[in-house]
Structure 1
Amino acid sequence: MSKHTLALTAALLLGAGALVAVPAAPVHAAEANVKCHLTFSLSGWSILYKHAEGSGTVRCENGQQAEVKIVMIGGGLTAGKYRIDHGTGDITHVRGIDDVFGDYAQAGAEAGVVKSGTAQVLTKGTTSLALAGHGEGINLGVSVGKFTISHR
């Protein structure tokens, strides 16, 4: 090897080593300790297939808020028509309001005639949504599906 090639190779190796040796600044994900609260109204029906739509507002402890659309779809052995007014939900394990949006897994057994109440816990990864509400209608059965929160 010539002196010139040897010097060039050494310079390249030292330069590459310097790039590798520089420690990167640690990256910390924001902690998912923000809590958000959902208020909503929802109405729907089911005959084997379950469909409901509604709207609401999400307010987070960090001051963020958004008007939202809610869609619930699923299937199972269900039948009925129902409406939930003044529903509430507590959303935990989020970093901010953007973590609220998306599809939550839903499964439940419903039994209600005229005036009824509901309580469910839904999940989306590590995010939990605890729903409660009361309303009117007739609904009977067992179903699985998804509960979607999106921007209105």
Structure 2
Amino acid sequence: MACAGAMTVLPTSSAQAAEASVKCDLVYNLSGWSLIYKHAEGTGMVTCSNGQSAKVKIAVVGGGLTAGKYHIDNGKGEISKVHGIADVFGDYAQAGAEAGVVKSSTAQVLTKGTTSLALAGTGEGVNLGISVGKFTISQL
């Protein structure tokens, strides 16, 4: 009878992960080639809405039915669903279709877990094909 009507009160905690509300912008230059194997390298700058920024190195590798040589100048990227600039670095899954002669363009959305990277850029070169690979951003 001593426990009748007793109630256990547990403290509520904020165990929920803080929402990833920081957005980062990437400005980059990239050049590469593909002949079944795809390879590109470049550099850029990431600037985040929380004031963080970093110079970055970009590497793209993959394979597929591709052929060409190209470069992108002043490409733009928007990185969303991050807590800070540290979440930007790493490998993003990439799949895309490319087509272009002389003036080349690309628009892709890449993912790394819940983080997404939307890329857009124009440049020059010749590229044609379908490829799958990874897009890596690392700090310089």
TM-score relative to the length of structure 2: 0.89
Specify every segment of 5 or more residues in structure 1 that has no aligned partner in the other structure, as ranges: 1-21
CA drift at 1:71: 0.1
AA aligned opposite 2:32: G
Aligned residue pairs, count: 132
CA drift at 1:118: 1.1
Whole-Å separation in 2 of the counterparts to 1:84 and 1:25: 48
Whole-Å separation in 1 of the counterparts to 2:120 and 2:12: 46
CA drift at 1:145: 0.1
Of 57, 66, 69 in structure 2, the residue corresponding to residue 78 of structure 1 is 66
Q: Higher Cα Rg: structure 1 or 2?
A: 1
Whole-Å separation in 1 of the counterparts to 2:12 and 2:70: 55
Of 116, 122, 125 in structure 2, the residue corresponding to residue 128 of structure 1 is 116
- 1:91 matched to 2:79? The reply is yes
Task: Provide the identity percentage.
Answer: 73
Secondary structure, counterpart of 2:86 in structure 1: helix
CA drift at 1:29: 2.9
Contact 2:70–2:104 (Cα < 8 Å) also in 1: no
Whole-Å separation in 2 of the counterparts to 1:85 and 1:127: 24
Match of 1:64 in 2: 52
AA aligned opposite 1:68: V
Q: Deviations over 1:42-68 (max 9, x none)?
A: 000000000000000000000000000
Match of 1:40 in 2: 28
Match of 2:135 in 1: 147
AA aligned opposite 1:111: A
Of 89-98 and 28-37, more deviation after overlay is shown by: 28-37
Which 4+ residue blocks in structure 1 deviate beyond 2 angstroms?
22-30
CA drift at 1:117: 1.4
TM-score relative to the length of structure 1: 0.82
RMSD, matched Cα: 1.5
CA drift at 1:133: 0.5
